[in-house]
Structures are given as structure tokens and as C-alpha cells.
Structure 1
Amino acid sequence: MRKAILQAWLLVGGLILTLTLNGLANALPLFGRMTGEISDSLPNLFVPSGLTFSIWGVIYLGLLAFSLYQLGRAYKTPDALPAWLSAIAPWVIISHIANAAWIIAWHALQYTISVVLMIILFIALMKTMTKLKWSKNALSGKEFWLVCVPFSLYSGWITVALPANITG
């Protein structure tokens, strides 16, 4: 029981860390630089248009829905968490930490570190998607929308963002 609730709070905490750093990155801004300004200052052959970055709102909303769903489920049925949730949890936590660390590295102009962190994020999301693929039949319709859709969007975006980060 305690393990399920601890896991749930680690997932929520990782998302809070990511959302907080992302918000601070532009509100303060971190290291005196806005995220977009850094991107615009680099010669890059492959940069999506500014409007494309609005997908982050949808991704973060989906991740928030997932986090709240799995937190509620951990309290409701702590002794009967589904295998798919236990399988993806470590990878989702790694993805949150990598995302948060990427924001710091990017704003600190540590581009090599930011690429390494983006690769870690990519791997964590691909592992998450692989675990979900094998568990797809075990997911309800609601879980499909609260789990598969957010992580599919997130994985899709990172698949595009990684080459953009590397070519920068």
C-alpha cells in the first residue's frame, strides 16, 4: 500500500517540478534568458514555428490528468495497482527529471548537457510507450485517454524536438 502511494506522489512531484521550472524559466527568466530567445539566438536548420510550441499546453494538461488519475487510483485501490502503472512509473519519473534538468541546462547555455538530457528524456518516453503498447489491452477507454494519449503526444513532440536540439 505504501509503495503505491509513494509511487503516485513521486509521479506527481516529478510533474510539479517540471511545470514549476518551465513556468519559472520564462517568468523570471532563468539565467536572464527566455526559452524562445535562446532558441532564436542559435543558428539552426530545423526549428518548428513558434505556434508549434503551444502543444506543450496540451501535453502538460494531459500529464496533469494522468498524474491526478493515478494518484486517485493509488488511494482508492493501493493493493491492486495495475501492472502497466508499475511498469511505466520509473520511466515517467525519469522523464520528468530529465525534462526539468533540460530546462536548467538550456537556460544555462549548456547545450551538450541539454542534448544528453533530451536523449535521456527520449529514451524514458520510448520505454514508457513500449510498456504501454504491451499493456494496451489491459487499459480501459478512460485509461487510454488519460495515459496513452498524453504520452503519445509527449513522445511525438520529443521525437521532433530531439533533432532540433541536436542541430542547434
Structure 2
Amino acid sequence: MWRGLAAVAIVLNIALNYVSQQYPFNGQTNAVVSGKYPTLLTPAGYAFSIWGLIFLSLLAYAVWQLLPAQRHNPLPSAVARPLVVANLATGAWLVVFAYELMPLSAAVMLIILGSLIVAYGRARRLVLEDQSPAIGSVPVALYLGWISVATVINLTIALRDLGWQPELNVSLLLALVLIAIVTALGILVGSAFRDVVIPLVVAWALVAIWLARRPQYPELAWAALAGAVLAGVVGVALALRRRRVVAGV
């Protein structure tokens, strides 16, 4: 039953995202709302195109997990409940964010993040125990990698909306610290779970931050680029290592 519910939740999430672009809630798309609340960590606009890849992978996963060949695969059943929560919460977040309820949107984002952490941990454990093919964990990894970065941005927006307005030098220092934390977590999670996807998603986001901040805040931009290079190198190294393992070298 939960596999079917996961498939339904994924389709609803994708459909709601499409509707929110064609018929924006509160008369404004997420891109418009985001533009009203710029932060030092908001990436260049192209970075959000990763949602296309996330949704495509989730849709493929929704079909794959229901195939007769996957009936005895434990991964879909293990991640179904948290995946339902993540997708439904993402749909709710679209509405809350469009109405500029920023503290509430940050709370919903934390629910998404928490549910994806649970789903990812379960999925990768089964993959590492050779109970499921690695492809089954890729959609969750893509989703979690991007939501991890989005959560940091959303929390920053919520704090500003609540009236927290530190001086520029303090904001820059905090942004540098957050970039270091995101980079470190991407590398640590990727290494611990032998996962290529998480570090590469983090690198994608950090490159976009570098491009967005390069004109005004070069120090911050170069820190983001350094983080992207580190995460990217780890991702490539993990990919090469996995390739050697598969080849039996």
C-alpha cells in the first residue's frame, strides 16, 4: 500500500509544482517571492533547474518501484513513508512560501529535510548491504542534496523576516561558516555512504552561489567555489572508486 501512496504523492508533488508555475498561488511564483528576499547564499537562477532532474528521477522511481521485478526489493517499502511525507510537505511548502509565511515555510522545509534524511539513510543502508541496486537511492539523494542547501537559504530568509538583520560583515562571516558546513556535510555524507550524488549536488549549488556573488562579494564567491571544487573532487573520486569496484579492479 505504501508504495502506491508514495507514487501518488510523487505525482501530486510534480503536478502541484506545475500548477504553481502556470497558475501561481497568491499571484506570484516561487522565483518572484525568492527575488523579494535576497540572501548572500541565494544561488544563480539556473541552479533551480535541478528540480527538473529531481522530478524526472522521482517519476521514474515511482514507476520502477511498482514493477513486478521490484516486488521483493526492500528499498521501496523502507523509504515509502518518509518519501510520502517529503513529497506532501514539498507541495505544502509551495503554498506557504507563495503567501510569504517565511517562518512557517522554514518549519515545513525542516520537515521535508528530516523525512528525506530518514529515507536516504534507509535507502543507502540497503544499497551498502547489497539488498538493493544503487539506482534506487539516486532520486532520494538528489532530493536530499538540494533540500539541504535550500533549507539553509530558507532559514536565513525566515530569520530576516523575523527582524534579524545583522551588520554586513557579520552576515558575510555567517555565510562563510554556512558554506563550510554545507561543504563538509556533503563530503562527509558522501564518504560515509559511498554516494556520488550528494557531493555533486552540493558542488552544483556552490558553483551557482559563486556565480551569483562574484561581482559584489568576491571573498564569499571564492569560498563557495573552493567548496564546490572540494565537493566535486570527492564526488568524482567516489564515482571512480565505485567504477573500479564494479569492474573488480
Provide the TM-score with structure 1 as the length reference: 0.87
Letter in 1 for 2:137: C
1:36 counterpart (18, 31, 35):
31
Matches within 5 A, 1:78-93: 80-93=71-84
Q: Quote the Cα distance in structure 2 between the aligned partners of 1:92 and 1:135.
A: 16
Letter in 1 for 2:131: A
Q: Determine the structure 2 residue equivalent to 1:14.
A: 9
Q: Quote the Cα distance in structure 1 between the aligned partners of 2:101 and 2:13.
A: 18
Tell whether the 8 Å contact from 1:122 to 1:155 is kept in structure 2 after alignment: yes
Tell whether the 8 Å contact from 1:45 to 1:167 is kept in structure 2 after alignment: no
Q: Determine the structure 1 residue equivalent to 2:132.
A: 139
2:58 counterpart (57, 63, 67):
63
User: 1:101 and 2:92 equivalent?
Assistant: yes
Tell whether the 8 Å contact from 2:117 to 2:144 is kept in structure 1 after alignment: yes
Q: Quote the Cα distance in structure 2 between the aligned partners of 1:148 and 1:88.
A: 9
After TM superposition, give the deviation of residue 83 of structure 1 in Å. Answer: 2.6
Q: Determine the structure 1 residue equivalent to 2:105.
A: 114
Q: Quote the Cα distance in structure 1 between the aligned partners of 2:49 and 2:147.
A: 14
User: 1:166 and 2:166 equivalent?
Assistant: no
Tell whether the 8 Å contact from 1:18 to 1:96 is kept in structure 2 after alignment: yes
1:36-66 Cα deviation digits (max 9, x unpaired):
0000011422101100001000010000010
Structure with greater helix share of residues: 1
Q: Where do 4+ consecutive residues of structure 1 move more than 4 Å?
A: none
After TM superposition, give the deviation of residue 87 of structure 1 in Å. Answer: 1.4
Q: Determine the structure 2 residue equivalent to 1:152.
A: 141
Tell whether the 8 Å contact from 1:102 to 1:118 is kept in structure 2 after alignment: yes
Q: Quote the Cα distance in structure 1 between the aligned partners of 2:38 and 2:143.
A: 25
Q: Quote the Cα distance in structure 1 between the aligned partners of 2:53 and 2:75.
A: 23
SS at match of 2:43: coil
1:79-104 Cα deviation digits (max 9, x unpaired):
x5333222111010011111111111
Q: Identity of counterpart residues, as a percentage?
A: 28
After TM superposition, give the deviation of residue 118 of structure 1 in Å. Answer: 0.5
Unaligned runs of 5+ in 1: 1-5
Q: Quote the Cα distance in structure 1 between the aligned partners of 2:77 and 2:5.
A: 12
Q: Determine the structure 1 residue equivalent to 2:46.
A: 51
Q: Quote the Cα distance in structure 1 between the aligned partners of 2:19 and 2:117.
A: 27
Q: Quote the Cα distance in structure 2 between the aligned partners of 1:35 and 1:128.
A: 26
Higher relative contact order (CA 8 A, sep 6+): 1
Q: Determine the structure 2 residue equivalent to 1:125.
A: 116
Q: Quote the Cα distance in structure 1 between the aligned partners of 2:16 and 2:75.
A: 28
